[in-house]
Amino acid sequence: MVQYAGYDELIKKICEFKQDHVFKYWNELTEGERKSLLKELMSVDFASLAGLFKETQAEAGIDVDFGPAPFIPRPKNLSDTAWQKAKAFGEDHIKAGKVAAFVVAGGQGSRLGYEGPKGAYTMSPVKNKSLFQIHAEKIKKYSMKYGVAVPFFIMTSDVNHAATVAHFEENEYFGLHNKDVFLFPQNMIPSLDANGKLILSSKNSIFKNPDGHGGSLTALRTSGALEEMKKRGIDTLSYFQVDNPTVNIVDPVLIGYHHIEQAEVSSKALIKAYPEEKVGSFVRWKDGREGVVEYSDLPKEKMFEKNADGSLTYAPGSIAIHLFSREYIERITSGRELSLPFHVARKKIKSYTPEGFIEIDGFKFEKFVFDALPLAKKSLIIECLREEEFAPVKNASGIDSVESSQQLMSDLYKSWVRARGIVLPDAVKVLEISPIVAVAPEDLPVGMKIPAEEKVYIG
């Protein structure tokens, strides 16, 4: 057994949990390296990890005693009184400086073949802007439109924090004041190999993965972000994923409904295009709690279940856009670590050997933010349209790819132009409108001229 003054208890525990292979290279380590390994191991919750590994060996099941969650349908005619009332309420709320934007961006662009923060991936159809640039420019536009700063909270992870900060600094925060942009990393959790053992990522460190976007709620507290919001008088946080360039980040209608109905969490739903679409389903359990069941967990019979009119029973799908009340996050994280369940993903993991890395089978553990939804005393869901708010960039090709996202963006901008009665020349195949010009059709100046070119950027 290795020895190191002051760490006897820890070393004993590591041996008890049969994880002492982490000391395999102990004799080759310098004093500093030994200390850094021990410090890292100090933060590991060995008992919880053992419990998680046990769960990987059992057949995981979810409570399937649920039906579809009710939602507020999007009216055919947007002049609908309740819709307009919500919009007006929401606009006043934004103008009062009570709303902040929050993006979860702890992931890498690996699925796109890009080894950097996913948010730094450049993809807009004409200007090739990064996802972060698109989001930041929208936020700048909201600030201009509503005459108030909309703070931008960005959750990164240890894997991409430095690169994300560099992306914002090199680009001068895309026109935002850096005092209104808050970047903070989420927590990490060790991964395990197929036998439940910690995996070495070097001679003196263990492999960890970000703890999932469900870790964001705890990270908001531990990073001081919640405190900052309180200081600024923010009571509503608009949560979204970095991979969706058409997200309506600050939506007055959603904000209005959220406050009028006194919800703690409000979410956006779209009607699923087909039963197996890879979005979570909104459900309501027997005891009245509402939440999301991930597509991979939705039982097949429910996935294909239909209403009498032939429509899907579990039609409302989650696009991971939620509005959280600040006080709700404060309440559920008051014990600091919010205990949401961990979901297990079987992944190939790079394990260190002196001859180079080898890929082994392992388990990564992640929390999902939507598991916090059932903790809300009151929640609501409103319908939105795919073509207006959902163009995710997840895959290198095919469904939810860069290509499909660019097409959806261009189509959306064209629809705004038409809605404003602006002439769109037939020659225009691809159109991109800078968020600084418009985040909604009504922002476009009537009488605007669009050049008859194949690719047009309005900026």
Nearest-CA neighbor of 199 among 57, 52, 352?
352
Q: Please pick, from the candidates 208, 213, 322, 414, the single residue that binds ligand UD1 as defined by CB under 6 A.
A: 213
Q: Please pick, from the candidates 392, 432, 434, 439, the single residue that binds ligand UD1 as defined by CB under 6 A.
A: 392
The answer to the question of residue 368 lying near ligand UD1 (CB under 6 A) is yes
Q: Please pick, from the candidates 256, 280, 291, 362, the single residue that binds ligand UD1 as defined by CB under 6 A.
A: 280
For helices 81-95 and 131-146, what crossing angle results, to 10°? 90
Mark the segment that binds ligand UD1 (CB under 6 A) among 56-64, 79-87, 235-243, 423-431: 235-243
The number of C-alpha atoms within 13 Å of 294 and in the hemisphere containing its C-beta is 11
Q: Which amino acid is at 245?
A: P
**Minimum gap (Å) between residue 132 Cβ and ligand UD1:** 11
**Minimum gap (Å) between residue 315 Cβ and ligand UD1:** 13
**Minimum gap (Å) between residue 34 Cβ and ligand UD1:** 29
Which token pair is 402? 């860069």
Mark the segment that binds ligand UD1 (CB under 6 A) among 26-34, 105-113, 249-257, 379-387: 105-113
Nearer to ligand UD1, 256 or 316 (CB): 316
> Going by DSSP bridges, is the β-strand pair 152-156/99-104 parallel, antiparallel, or unpaired?
parallel
CB 243 within 8 A of CB 394: yes
The answer to the question of residue 283 lying near ligand UD1 (CB under 6 A) is no
CB 261 within 8 A of CB 294: no
Nearer to ligand UD1, 94 or 155 (CB): 155
The answer to the question of residue 190 lying near ligand UD1 (CB under 6 A) is no
Residue 413 CA: distances (Å) to CA of 238, 245, 319, 402:
23, 12, 20, 17
Q: Please pick, from the candidates 155, 247, 408, 430, the single residue that binds ligand UD1 as defined by CB under 6 A.
A: 155
The answer to the question of residue 220 lying near ligand UD1 (CB under 6 A) is no
Looking at residues 319 to 348 of the shown chain, list those that interact with ligand UD1 (rule: CB under 6 A). Answer: 319-320
Tell me, by CB under 6 A, how many residues bind ligand UD1.
Answer: 25
Nearer to ligand UD1, 19 or 130 (CB): 130
Nearer to ligand UD1, 94 or 225 (CB): 225
Nearer to ligand UD1, 66 or 146 (CB): 66
CB 318 within 8 A of CB 298: no
Q: Please pick, from the candidates 40, 294, 305, 388, the single residue that binds ligand UD1 as defined by CB under 6 A.
A: 294
Q: Please pick, from the candidates 279, 329, 382, 456, the single residue that binds ligand UD1 as defined by CB under 6 A.
A: 279
**Minimum gap (Å) between residue 182 Cβ and ligand UD1:** 15
**Minimum gap (Å) between residue 93 Cβ and ligand UD1:** 25
Nearest-CA neighbor of 153 among 123, 185, 129?
185
SS3 readout for 405-452: HHHHHHHHHHHHHHHCCCCCCCCCCEEEECCCCCCCHHHCCCCCCCCC
Q: Please pick, from the candidates 124, 164, 236, 241, the single residue that binds ligand UD1 as defined by CB under 6 A.
A: 241
Nearer to ligand UD1, 137 or 235 (CB): 137
Dihedral pair phi/psi, residue 66, rounded to 5°? -140, 165
> Going by DSSP bridges, is the β-strand pair 114-117/342-351 parallel, antiparallel, or unpaired?
unpaired
Nearer to ligand UD1, 249 or 320 (CB): 320
Residue 250 CA: distances (Å) to CA of 101, 146, 213, 269, 440:
7, 11, 20, 16, 11
Nearer to ligand UD1, 97 or 316 (CB): 316
Taking the C-alpha atoms of residue 163 and residue 169, their distance in angstroms, rounded to an integer, is 10
Q: What is the DSSP string of 243-264?
A: T-TT--SS-HHHHHHHHHTT-S
What is residue 20's DSSP assignment? G
Taking the C-alpha atoms of residue 369 and residue 151, their distance in angstroms, rounded to an integer, is 21
The answer to the question of residue 318 lying near ligand UD1 (CB under 6 A) is yes
In terms of phi and psi (left: phi > 0; alpha: psi -120 to 50; beta: otherwise), the region of 157 is beta
Nearer to ligand UD1, 14 or 189 (CB): 189
Q: Can you give the binding site for ligand UD1, defined by CB under 6 A?
A: 104-107, 118, 155, 157, 186, 210-213, 241-243, 279-280, 294, 318-320, 366, 368, 392, 394
